[in-house]
Structure 1
């Protein structure tokens, strides 16, 4: 089964005419690959789900159906959580910029975007309460101040921890995409 949200588009190059060159410009795209921390966490969750499914099958043969149904439900919840974890990130399309979190998604049309910029600031390490000095890609909207919005992505999140060059490429691509669509 193909998982299109795991693939990234070709990287941004200075010689390209457009910010994100690909065939179908109308689809939502994540201009970077999910990082090893995110993929590793999802793999561990899917491994856990396989054990829970095995337990559900064993319970289905030995216990009443209600118990096995409950365990199947837990396995399904773990699988959905792993897939949602893989889907998290920043997505772009001609309609706007989409920030997908674990519990929700915020979409901002390009008309409401004032700027997308990289700033040096304290950032959360892997989403935990601990903060370290790093870079963050921030979104400034017309209807809100820049200070209240969480960063779109940071050098210390699950996609870019230990991969500063990948963060720079992804931030440059998203900034170029924003510059192209704010002009149009």
Structure 2
């Protein structure tokens, strides 16, 4: 941990506090966790609007079903995040996620620029969804690690559940792309 020097030249450490389990947490570390939590909360809430738009544009029944399943999971992700805010003693709050907004805008531009009822569009939707999934996987993995460091095993467990669902969706999208969509799109 970085130290700073006082006016007398002696090193002083940032303020820490211990939780009931004896884990040391700096206030800034906790703030980092909360800021990232607000960020992914915004992302998940906005995905509840974006997924149906992409889903309506799909041609493949298999992809439509996978997106429907993930939409239901996303509703649970939002509820888990709200539970985490409660555990942390905070009111659920969002902070605009610039990265997710960019990924969703990119997906919308792709939809606008491709013709309907096309497997090429489905291939692009899968790419867009996997970019989103990879962002979520990275975020949930980091948040889980931070929660563990802070000694919040209950929070880490909730984050792990969501992380595993995101990984499953990513794998399912890969399977759909490789089993049918990419071949059919290449043949168009």
TM-score, normalized by length of structure 2?
Answer: 0.30
Greater RCO between the two (CA within 8 Å, min separation 6)?
Answer: 2
Report which of the two has the higher share of strand: 1
TM-score, normalized by length of structure 1?
Answer: 0.31
Whose Rg is larger? 2
Report which of the two has the higher share of helix: 2
